[in-house]
């Protein structure tokens, strides 16, 4: 028997992931235009860019405490419109303080949005009893491809930021508000029963969560390397044309989408540990191919492998946190989400510094080694027989969609 509430909740959360992917892509791909609009100097730009993930981490921490009083669906219902309005604000102003205010608001709201979306995804997956997290992140990738394509169109036709952002926000804002009516918080996690019959939640122990935090950072160091350095690497190191240098990131995004779209089936068939191990090896192989590539086409093959490999790690890391602390999964997801931004902050400057001091080929080996360390922590993703990162797939006595 199908549960309409859960089916609608799953669809509405997928809409949320899609909208977030599109909004984030529209922001990061138009950074040069934002810099020009507000007259932000090259020296000041890194401070603006660093402030967004730092404030996002603050937003994630605040969400961890907020969900002790309200459900994650309530946080998401307000955080998503805030992100879209902050994006619109970034395109509407013309003074430096307006840019700082809009980007600051975007950072805080996106931290709350990322945390609450993944909290909802983890709890829904627990209720479904089978892997669905990769599907949500596939929606995010699809939104990212759409946002990057719209950003390219805006840059190609030299549209102002406001003209580029206003139609997108005008469509996504009401769609997200309508979809939020069907957000469904999944069933609570397992609690321990102590003497006397009192139920207690297993407390979050950061020492046990730390391996997953490191994996999250490693994955985002790899991801930020692709997003920030793939074009420069292809053009300056591998000798591609400027036009061809824009292709690797698009290929990476498409393979990320394809890998996530199929990933849930892999988890159900082979288990989370096996899928993460295969993804880790593919990602490391992708970095190795990029590092030794004799020309741009081989380099693009490496970035293709990277997309198929890295795409499964982040969703399964969130799922594993929910499995590890089933009674405190919201807190675990919020804490883990901070290391998303840690990896994003570290990755790009690390590769840039190593590239300038050593070589960009050599710099590509550093995220390769870091990603490979995921193999050390693979057992944190569940037992060998885990089918969705939550111990086992529940009996199919009730089909929830």
- Tens digits of per-residue pLDDT, 242-256? 778 778 888 898 999
DSSP state of 199: E
**Separation CA 286–CA 49 (nearest Å):** 27
Phi, psi of 293 (to 5 degrees): -60, 130
What pLDDT score was predicted for residue 51? Answer: 92
- Per-10-residue mean pLDDT of the chain, 401 residues long, equals 80 97 89 89 86 95 95 96 97 94 96 97 91 95 90 87 95 97 78 49 84 96 90 89 79 93 93 95 97 95 95 95 91 95 91 90 96 94 57 38 35
Tens of pLDDT, residues 295-348: 999 999 999 999 999 999 999 999 999 999 988 999 999 999 999 999 999 988
CA angle 123, 1, 9 (to 5 degrees): 35
* DSSP string of 89-107, one letter each residue: HHHH--SHHHHHHHHHHHH
The H or E element spanning position 313 is: helix 313-324
Token duo for residue 91: 């395109």
Cβ proximity of 26 and 169 under 8 Å: no
> What structural domains does the chain harbor?
4-188 (1.20.1250.20), 203-381 (1.20.1250.20)
Token duo for residue 204: 């979050």
What pLDDT score was predicted for residue 228? Answer: 83
304 alpha carbon, distance to own chain's centre = 18
The H or E element spanning position 200 is: strand 199-200
Cβ proximity of 356 and 236 under 8 Å: no
What pLDDT score was predicted for residue 28? Answer: 84
What pLDDT score was predicted for residue 189? Answer: 60
What pLDDT score was predicted for residue 171? Answer: 97
Quickly count: other Cβ atoms within 10 Å of residue 31's Cβ: 14
Residues 6 or more apart whose Cβ sits within 8 Å of residue 109 = 59, 79, 82, 83, 86
Which stretches within 42-71 are classed as H helix?
Answer: 45-66
Q: Which of 138, 207, 126, 208 is nearest to 386 (CA)?
A: 126
What pLDDT score was predicted for residue 389? Answer: 40
What pLDDT score was predicted for residue 248? Answer: 85
Distance between start and end Cα atoms, the chain: 9
Residues 6 or more apart whose Cβ sits within 8 Å of residue 280 = 309, 313, 371, 372, 374, 375, 378
Cβ proximity of 220 and 114 under 8 Å: no
């Amino acid at each position: 028997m199908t549960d309409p509430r859960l089916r609608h909740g799953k669809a509405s959360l997928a809409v949320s992931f899609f909208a977030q992917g599109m909004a984030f892509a529209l922001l990061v791909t138009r950074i040069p235009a934002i810099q020009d609009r507000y007259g932000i100097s090259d020296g000041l730009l890194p401070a603006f860019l660093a402030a967004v993930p730092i404030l996002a981490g603050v937003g994630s921490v605040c969400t961890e405490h907020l969900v002790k009083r309200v459900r994650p669906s309530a946080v998401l219902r307000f955080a998503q419109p805030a992100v879209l309005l902050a994006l619109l604000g970034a395109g509407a102003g013309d003074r430096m303080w307006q840019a700082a205010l809009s980007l600051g608001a975007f950072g805080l709201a996106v931290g709350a949005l990322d945390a609450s979306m993944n909290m909802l995804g983890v709890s829904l997956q627990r209720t479904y009893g089978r892997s669905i997290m990769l599907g949500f992140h596939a929606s995010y990738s699809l939104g990212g491809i759409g946002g990057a394509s719209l950003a390219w169109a805006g840059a190609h036709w030299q549209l102002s930021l406001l003209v580029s952002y206003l139609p997108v926000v005008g469509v996504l804002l009401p769609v997200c508000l309508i979809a939020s009516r069907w957000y469904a918080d999944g069933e609570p996690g397992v609690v321990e029963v102590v003497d006397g019959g009192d139920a207690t939640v297993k407390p979050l122990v950061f020492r046990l969560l730390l391996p997953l935090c490191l994996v999250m950072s490693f994955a985002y160091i790899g991801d930020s390397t692709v997003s920030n350095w793939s074009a420069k690497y292809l053009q300056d190191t591998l000798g591609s044309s400027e036009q061809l240098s824009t292709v690797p990131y698009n290929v990476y995004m498409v393979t990320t989408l394809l890998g996530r779209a199929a990933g849930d089936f892999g988890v159900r068939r082979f288990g989370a540990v096996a899928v993460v191990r295969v993804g880790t090896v593919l990602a490391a192989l992708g970095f190795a191919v990029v590092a030794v590539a004799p020309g741009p086409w081989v380099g693009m093959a490496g970035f293709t492998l990277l997309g198929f490999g890295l795409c499964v790690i982040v969703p399964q890391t969130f799922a594993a946190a929910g499995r590890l602390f089933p009674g405190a999964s919201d807190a675990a997801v919020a804490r883990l989400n901070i290391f998303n931004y840690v990896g994003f902050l570290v990755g790009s400057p690390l590769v840039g510094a190593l590239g300038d001091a050593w070589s960009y080929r050599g710099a590509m080996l550093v995220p390769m080694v870091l990603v490979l360390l995921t193999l050390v922590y693979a057992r944190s993703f569940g037992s060998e027989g885990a089918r969705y990162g939550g111990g086992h797939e529940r009996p199919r006595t009730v089909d929830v969609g």
